[in-house]
Amino acid sequence: MHSFGHRANAVATFAVTILAAMCFAASFSDNFNTPTPTASVKILNINWFQKEANGNDEVSMTLNISADLSSLFTWNTKQVFVFVAAEYETSQNALNQVSLWDGIIPAKEHAKFLIHTTNKYRFIDQGSNLKGKEFNLTMHWHIMPKTGKMFADKIVMTGYRLPEQYR
Amino acid sequence: MGFVGDTVESIRSMQIRQVLTQIISLGMIVTSALIIWKGLIVVTGSESPVVVVLSGSMEPGFKRGDILFLHMSKDPIRTGEIVVFNVDGREIPIVHRVIKVHERQDTKEVDILTKGDNNFGDDRLLYAHGQLWLQQHHIMGRAVGYLPYVGWVTIIMTEKPFIKYLLIGALGLLVITSKE
């Protein structure tokens, strides 16, 4: 009855069960964290703003991004992926979301940061609707866990406007 | 010699009723696995509810051999979400992050651009020739959960089929020769 095979099987099954329960508990414990992140984004300069040969507007800008996301980190957090997207509506599109900058925060110690950067990804419209366009800058974050469920949230910052003329 | 002799003896001495019971219990294992998989497809709404990460393009978030749980809800795709998509003319689905979304006013159709966290540029080079955007129908699901390392089992079995057959053979033998 109690052969080597039976014992090995019992130990393996028990180990896997405990491991699964611990993964579940670690992921579940994330729900008890109520983060209080802060963020602010300033547009320091519109470097250039033009219509491309194919008719789409493109703008290049310099951004000042500061945030404190340290409250997002729990013991089950592997990293936080953070990005700033420009969000606006046009007559053609109900929603345009264009990611301008992103970064990976590997640890809580790096979660409070201030970055001075030009847009990392090209800010191109579908069409030519950007002159004088009002838009939001939204800081999104996606919490990537060591195991289990992923969480995401955002802070919307309103009241940004592009220039009336190309430059 | 003893083990092989015993095994042959045990197969020979088996009664027909015992053989039938074992076939049925084997069938139960296979069908319940199938039921769980198909049930997951229905619940998550994704044609493949669990995927194994095969490349390092999302490192350090997802490494090769990690598994992701997918969900396909009616909610529209938004930037930052990690989606699994199929490109026309490519067999293997890709797991990458959405960086741009343009959603139409009238039809609610979406144009999506993706990028791997660990890649330098966006995914237009991976898309079909001349394709600039992904549409809703390319998307198989979005990642909602994560479990590290477990996917190595399938990676090893696909890359070293010998181990797969060895495992299936050993399990089969175990089921056939087990007494109760």
Q: Is the CB of residue B48 less than 8 Å from the CB of residue B93?
A: yes
The two tokens of residue A73 are 């980190």
Class of domain B50-153: mainly beta
CB atoms under 10 Å from CB of A48, counted, come to: 11
3-state secondary structure (DSSP) of residue B134: strand
The two tokens of residue B117 are 């966290």
Q: Is residue A167 part of a domain?
A: no
Phi, psi of A63 (to 5 degrees): -115, 150
For chain A, give the DSSP string: ---HHHHHHHHHHHHHHHHHHHHHHHHHHGGG-----EEEEEEEEEEEEEE-TTS-EEEEEEEEEEEE-GGG--TTEEEEEEEEEEEE--SSEEEEEEEEEEEEE-SGGGSEEEEEEE-SS-EE-SSS--TT-EEEEEEEEEEEESSEE-EEEEEEEEEEE--SS--
Total domains present in chain A: 2
Number of H helices, E strands in chain B: 4, 6
Q: What is the value of pTM for the model shown?
A: 0.84
Task: Print the domain residue range for A21.
Answer: 1-32
Whether residue A41 is found in the same domain as residue A101: yes
Whether residue A17 is found in the same domain as residue A39: no
- pLDDT in 10s for each residue of chain B, 180 residues: 567 777 767 666 667 788 788 889 889 989 999 999 999 999 888 888 899 998 888 888 899 999 999 998 888 899 999 999 988 888 888 999 999 999 999 888 999 999 999 998 889 988 888 889 999 989 989 999 999 998 898 898 888 889 889 988 888 787 777 655
Whether residue A129 is found in the same domain as residue A98: yes
Angstroms from B20 CA to nearest CA on chain A: 23
Nearest to A97 among B61, B79, B117 (CB): B79
Residues 83-112 of A with CB under 8 A from B: 83, 85, 91-99, 102, 104, 106
Letter for the amino acid at B32? Answer: S
- Sort out which chain B residues have CB atoms less than 8 A from A102's CB and list them: 99
A107 has a pLDDT exceeding 60: yes
- Sort out which chain A residues have CB atoms less than 8 A from B84's CB and list them: none
pLDDT band at A27 (very low <50, low <70, confident <90, very high): very high
Q: Do A83 and B111 touch (CB under 8 A)?
A: no
